[in-house]
Structure 1
Amino acid sequence: MYIVVTGAAGFIGSSLIRALNARGETRIVAVDSLSRADNFRNLVDCDIADYFDKDEFLPRLADGDFDDDISAMLHQGACSDTMETDGRFMLANNYRYSATLLQHCQDNDVPFLYASSASVYGASTVFREERACESPLNVYGYSKWLFDQYVRRLLPDRTSQIAGFRYFNVYGPREGYKGRMASVVWHFFHQYRAAGKVQLFEGSGGYDAGEQRRDFVSIDDVVQVNLDFLDHSERSGIFNLGSGNAATFNAVATATIN
């Protein structure tokens, strides 16, 4: 039996594979798109059984190549660029692809853990897993929100575990490939190492410079929650995954320097 990890070459996907390896698990099928060749770097220190391009994987599933061979699916793959303006591309990647994977898992009694996003809340100041609190501001957030709605419709009659995690601002090693989409923690760290100082955002929305607040959560905590749910297939639902506390950019910059 194999564990499938999509988005395997990404920040969270590769971190999950490393954690599974630490448990002695190497029967892992990695799924991703290496359209940028240097994205392979996060997989170099990972032990996997096989690799498939994301566009190759769905036909293989449909053809029955993995029937009865998948013990769990950790779906971390998505286009996570909040500046992406091609809505058709975003929905095909983040909504339709995810729905197809989930349907396969439901048809074959396979636990399905997936990455949602706190972006579904938009400008809301209340981060509660309820429809009334959700109002995404961009097509990325909408694609994640739309899939969450699909999941909500399936949850009452699910045949196996479905667990979605609304990641807040995840930071840690292995995110450098994301460039401008990497966390401010990553940017602050590398700015300080290169120039001995960090650049803060100007004040906006009633906040002074650097006083904007975000919930930052360590990649180690994100991985641990995923593994805990993997170990407890009776747990299903959509859950916030953050620290529970908002920190200012000034505080993050100070912590980085110190």
Structure 2
Amino acid sequence: MIAITGAAGFIGSNLAHRLSAAGRELLLVDHPLTAATAVNWAGLGRFRFTPMERFLTDLERGEGRNIEAVFHLGACSSTTETDWAFLQDNNVGYTQSLWTWCAAEQRPFLYASSAATYGDGSRGFSDRTPPTELEPLNLYGKSKNDFDAWALAEIAAGRPRPPIWAGLKFFNVYGPREVHKGKMASVVWHARRQILETGEVRLFRSNDPAYPDGGQRRDFVFVEDCIDHMLWLWGQPDASAIYNSGTGTSRTFLDLVTAVFSALGREPRIQFIDMPPELGRQYQNYTQADMSKLRDAGYAKPPTTLEDGVRHALSWSDAPAVVTRTG
């Protein structure tokens, strides 16, 4: 049985569908389903569900004997969250507890870190850079970086570790099953909504003279590529480490919205608007994952192109939620 936390969320639900299609038995861990998240489990095979709040208690009671591996994708992912005590408990402490259990029970542990750990990018985007040298721009990024630093300190101190482990620094992920994220959904889905509602897309004007309007660049990565990274690392006992999960190529926001217009069969219409000051203080004008560490570890599959990924993402429709579970 494979345990997935955050299983009703964006990356977690896509991982669940991939593993279910491969015939794996699943334990899906998350908060109770809402109307917005229920659609993400539509079409899954049989599975067991456990609330996030109960999962750790169940493990402490010895109820995790059938768990083969833990994919920990559950966290508060809001980059505007200001409650540090909440983030420390939810994003750091919870992850530490799962790491400790997997180390004691010798179960593989793969978890979500974030490209937000790189801050403004002035120190680069290399996953070889120690977390202690990074300065995230927001508390969400700090929570992810704090756990990365803790995990590496545990290993350096010679304390027990999971037999296989990997932290994945997800870059700008987009794909199916993210509509429930609302304002935190990718630009792909915001662009789709705007085009269908108004016929045009609104993009922020640049707040940096080095980048023209719409020329801000990000490493946009299709969610299925991120799942490929996770599943490959799960099978590599000698490759445990923290890795970037991106494409290794930066593309502009104009590239992205042009791909969305093309996928919808429409001519591009773009309006530029001012960036809110509070966002401008923590805005990343450029990201590009250094993927050499994962490549050096032996991963060879090429990334999905932005145009192909957008087309695949927008071909998915929000079907009515029909789920079947056990337990």
Query: Structure 2 length as normaliser, TM-score?
Result: 0.75
Residue by residue, what CA displacement relative to the aligned partner does 1:179-217 show, whole Å, maximum 9, x if unpaired? Answer: 000011221122222222111111212222211111100
Letter aligned with residue 175 of structure 2 = G
Aligned partner of 2:202 in structure 1 is: 199
The structure number with the bigger radius of gyration is 2
Within-5 A mapping of 1:2-151: 2-25=1-24, 27-34=25-32, 36=34, 38-66=36-64, 68-125=65-122, 126-129=124-127, 130-131=129-130, 134-151=134-151
**Higher alpha-carbon deviation: 174-183 or 195-204:** 195-204
8 Å CA contact retained: 2:87, 2:143: yes
Q: Secondary structure at the match of 1:199?
A: strand
Q: Secondary structure at the match of 2:204?
A: coil
Q: Secondary structure at the match of 1:70?
A: coil
What's the CA shift for 1:119?
0.1
- 1:256 is aligned, of 256, 260, 263, to 260
Letter aligned with residue 204 of structure 2 = F
Aligned partner of 2:277 in structure 1 is: none
Identity of aligned residues (%): 40
8 Å CA contact retained: 1:14, 1:46: no
Residue by residue, what CA displacement relative to the aligned partner does 1:54-94 show, whole Å, maximum 9, x if unpaired? Answer: 0111111111111x311100000000011111111111110
Q: Secondary structure at the match of 2:8?
A: coil
Residue correspondences, number: 255
Residue by residue, what CA displacement relative to the aligned partner does 1:152-178 show, whole Å, maximum 9, x if unpaired? Answer: 123354351110000000000100000
Residue by residue, what CA displacement relative to the aligned partner does 1:117-137 show, whole Å, maximum 9, x if unpaired? Answer: 000000024101213652101
- 2:193 is aligned, of 165, 190, 195, to 190
Separation in structure 1 between the aligned mates of residue 163 and residue 46 of structure 2, nearest angstrom: 25
What's the CA shift for 1:241?
0.7
**Higher alpha-carbon deviation: 46-55 or 151-160:** 151-160
**Higher alpha-carbon deviation: 226-235 or 52-61:** 226-235
Superposed CA RMSD in Å reads: 1.5
Separation in structure 2 between the aligned mates of residue 175 and residue 214 of structure 1, nearest angstrom: 18
Q: Secondary structure at the match of 1:225?
A: helix
**Higher alpha-carbon deviation: 162-171 or 185-194:** 185-194
Aligned partner of 2:280 in structure 1 is: none
Letter aligned with residue 117 of structure 1 = S
8 Å CA contact retained: 2:117, 2:134: yes
Structure 1 residue runs without a partner (length 5+): none
Separation in structure 1 between the aligned mates of residue 81 and residue 258 of structure 2, nearest angstrom: 31
Question: Which ranges of 4 or more aligned residues in structure 1 deviate by more than 3 Å?
Answer: 35-38
Separation in structure 1 between the aligned mates of residue 197 and residue 38 of structure 2, nearest angstrom: 25
**Higher alpha-carbon deviation: 103-112 or 247-256:** 247-256
Q: Does 1:217 align with 2:214?
A: no
Measured at CA, do residues 147 and 180 of structure 1 come closer, stay the same or move farther in structure 2, by a change above 3 Å? same
**Higher alpha-carbon deviation: 96-105 or 201-210:** 201-210
Letter aligned with residue 128 of structure 1 = S
Residue by residue, what CA displacement relative to the aligned partner does 1:27-51 show, whole Å, maximum 9, x if unpaired? Answer: 1110011375532221232224311
Q: Secondary structure at the match of 1:253?
A: helix
8 Å CA contact retained: 2:164, 2:234: no
Separation in structure 1 between the aligned mates of residue 54 and residue 253 of structure 2, nearest angstrom: 41
Structure 2 residue runs without a partner (length 5+): 263-327
Separation in structure 2 between the aligned mates of residue 21 and residue 57 of structure 1, nearest angstrom: 20
Separation in structure 2 between the aligned mates of residue 174 and residue 62 of structure 1, nearest angstrom: 32
Separation in structure 1 between the aligned mates of residue 35 and residue 258 of structure 2, nearest angstrom: 35
Measured at CA, do residues 46 and 57 of structure 1 come closer, stay the same or move farther in structure 2, by a change above 3 Å? same
